Amino acid sequence: MTAEHYFSADPASPAQSRQIDIDVAGRPVRLESSTGVFSAGRLDLGTALLLRKAPLPGPATTGTLLDLGCGYGPIAVTLALSAPKATVYATDVNRRALDLTRANAASAGAGNVVVGEPTEIPDHVRFDQIWSNPPIRVGKTELHAMLETWLPRLAGNGTAWLVVARNLGADSLQEWITAKGWPTHRHASGKGYRVLRVDQHNATHAGSP
């Protein structure tokens, strides 16, 4: 199984469970990972940078958040524990990843996580925040289609936080999203990654207010 197959709907490799420890606001949380999902052996450097540099929602945060391409759930669980009053949707095309996210949310006591395939998230739901370490290796066509599907679902003053490796096209992706009408800014850099902030406010894409 190559790393490029983490976006397969049903990984062919036998599942081999692994334990990964993360820190959520000083609280240690142990998550279960497995072969066949993204960054199965450790917390991905990009995801770690995103969670460290982007402003996490606080305990008073309400509304609806989305972890797009959730993998085994480190972003979703972190958001849910940081903002227990919010509803956190977690979605991925990889069904093994979704099963792991469900189990990890339950074991972490994150009862505000709703896990489902992309088609299972109700069309009417709009998101105050979208968080994603997007699957760059699916190729530009699929990546752009994914973003053009989900960015329009940001609420009126919503924000998306994306982390992308610099050598995999972070800067060109920033330019592309901006050209599509969503103001996009480099929020932080580190470890070869960019953290991008995408704003729905003042967006000029078709269909915006």
Confidence class for position 14, pLDDT limits 50, 70, 90: confident
pLDDT of residue 128: 98
Q: Where does residue 32 rank: exposed (0-12), middle (13-18), buried (19+ CB within 10 A)?
A: middle
Tokens representing residue 189 in the block: 């850099």
pLDDT of residue 176: 97
Q: Are 182 and 203 in contact (CB under 8 A)?
A: yes
Query: Average pLDDT over the chain, rounded to whole?
Result: 92
Is pLDDT at 86 greater than 50 in this prediction? yes
pLDDT of residue 1: 30
Q: Work out the average pLDDT over 73-97.
A: 97
pLDDT in tens, 198-207: 999 777 765 4
Q: How do strand 17-24 and strand 113-116 relate by DSSP bridges?
A: unpaired
pLDDT in tens, 40-77: 999 999 999 999 999 999 999 999 999 999 999 999 99
